[in-house]
Structure 1
């Protein structure tokens, strides 16, 4: 009886982890679902950059001291943060069932490290996201060229008074928060354990983006998404945007890697599962 109870306690699972994705999966290249997912990531990134960069430029225009504008006018940092978080909520909700709703090379990188998708899919997702971001900012520049150039093009730059280390740290921690939230919100174990508390995954992900923007807009303008930083830099194409560009790639990729390791090997005990459970080892 005791043995049966132990098996029931430790062996039975009311959830199923998907098998690790193959490192190289060339068969994906022959499937329409793969290209449909790439299109979804491209369009989602385009819309994300279009709405958010317009919000940033609109805010700067509304508070321009040269226009003798009231500095309290416009949406403010709070409104900008809502634009980014709200768009992520909307777009993840719309595309999750098609591509997984990454819309961010850092998220894709973190999920790749956790073996949630193949190298082929990860690389192609990143390409689609970056191209979509460039096209989205291109639309903003086409519609509001004068404002776009005057107000910095929505490009991420390290704010005056902050060191490179502070900016890099802000991007690492901010991306960790986002990718950690993605892992937690989509964890099949959590869904089974907390089935009595329904969680709409895009909601906490959008709130994570919102909260990180509140904290880091004054430091870096908030990247936490290399495609979001690359798109405006390409279209604005000024020295300062390119000088700081590496921060918005290195920081998010480091943050995503730490989040993947923390979730997979600490919270989900991936390392312990590989070498055997502590509880099943009589010497522990």
Structure 2
């Protein structure tokens, strides 16, 4: 026991000026890096949990589009912004729904609700290619159905007049501006996802209550505040695709590539930054 106590003291005092709050008695000995997910895992296709996770992603993305696009339409339909929740309300709707839905589905599918998040976690080898493709397909289908229900409530004429909640680059901004906004916005989101769900951090700070959906939802809220005036804020290819398919107007399709390329680049940069810089995983010695 004396040797063990000495190890704890060393972990607490070796670099005291570098220890984050609440981690003084923790060491790297408390955590083992999990193996990367296999690229292909055919056995998943025979598991009910695999399909249950896909259904959870479908339902979550359906609800996400339903609530958020209805909120956007409510703001767009008002004669004056003072009678609506405004841009802040739209941002809260998106961030709040992500908070609620990630909380509800994290234990089943991981609560991705976004192809960019799935792509970033796949690059970090947190899930297999099999599961990543399945999630993205289910997310897109859920988004289409969610936007479709909104159109059913609003009616064709009203839905089209209000823009269908589709993402487009606003007048006064270039395609490059829109692409840059989507890249940086998605980087913020996916970087937050990696940090909030980091298994090593959870093990190290196990005595400090951390609710992962909260920072993720708050990141979505902040990004929307910043980029709604530029692109309407995509940072989620399924959200952009679902609204565009149901709205189905040329100007929405003209900018669609921005809302896929931008989020995927942002997610890839966040994955690389977290794995190489923050976690330094490629530089750690293998046993």
Structure 1 length-normalised TM: 0.90
Q: Distance in 2 between matches of 1:61 and 1:85?
A: 21
Name the residue aligned to 2:50.
34
Name the residue aligned to 1:22.
38
2:118–2:135 Cα contact (<8 Å) kept: yes
Q: Distance in 2 between matches of 1:71 and 1:36?
A: 41
1:41–1:129 Cα contact (<8 Å) kept: yes
Residues 5, 87 of structure 1: alpha-carbon distance in 2 compared, 3 angstrom cutoff: closer
Per-residue CA deviation, residues 93-142 of structure 1 (Å, 9 max, x unaligned), is 00000000000000000000000000000001000000000000000001
Name the residue aligned to 1:234.
245
1:80-91 correspondence to structure 2 within 5 Å: 80-91=90-101
Whether 2:214 is the aligned partner of 1:214: answer: no
Q: Distance in 1 between matches of 2:99 and 2:43?
A: 31
User: What secondary structure is seen at the aligned counterpart in 2 of 1:13?
Assistant: helix
Name the residue aligned to 1:119.
129
User: What secondary structure is seen at the aligned counterpart in 1 of 2:30?
Assistant: coil
Q: Distance in 2 between matches of 1:268 and 1:160?
A: 40
Whether 2:121 is the aligned partner of 1:105: answer: no
Question: Which of 245, 263, 266 matches 1:255?
Answer: 266
1:162–1:219 Cα contact (<8 Å) kept: yes
Q: 5+ residue gaps in structure 2? A: 15-26
2:75–2:81 Cα contact (<8 Å) kept: no
Name the residue aligned to 1:57.
73
Per-residue deviation at 1:247? 0.2
Per-residue deviation at 1:19? 1.5
1:16–1:188 Cα contact (<8 Å) kept: no
User: What secondary structure is seen at the aligned counterpart in 1 of 2:126?
Assistant: coil
For this pair of structures, how many residues does the alignment match? 266
Per-residue deviation at 1:190? 1.3
Name the residue aligned to 2:85.
75
Whether 2:261 is the aligned partner of 1:243: answer: no
User: What secondary structure is seen at the aligned counterpart in 2 of 1:147?
Assistant: helix
Name the residue aligned to 2:17.
none
Name the residue aligned to 1:200.
211
1:109–1:122 Cα contact (<8 Å) kept: yes
Name the residue aligned to 1:159.
170
Per-residue deviation at 1:5? 5.9
Q: Distance in 2 between matches of 1:13 and 1:166?
A: 46
Q: Distance in 1 between matches of 2:51 and 2:222?
A: 33
1:90–1:202 Cα contact (<8 Å) kept: yes
Name the residue aligned to 1:281.
none
Q: 5+ residue gaps in structure 1? A: 63-68, 278-284
Question: Which of 117, 138, 154 matches 2:148?
Answer: 138
Per-residue CA deviation, residues 48-86 of structure 1 (Å, 9 max, x unaligned), is 000000000011111xxxxxx333220100000000000
Per-residue deviation at 1:243? 0.2
Q: Distance in 1 between matches of 2:75 and 2:180?
A: 26
User: What secondary structure is seen at the aligned counterpart in 2 of 1:72?
Assistant: helix
Q: Distance in 2 between matches of 1:164 and 1:12?
A: 45
2:101–2:111 Cα contact (<8 Å) kept: yes
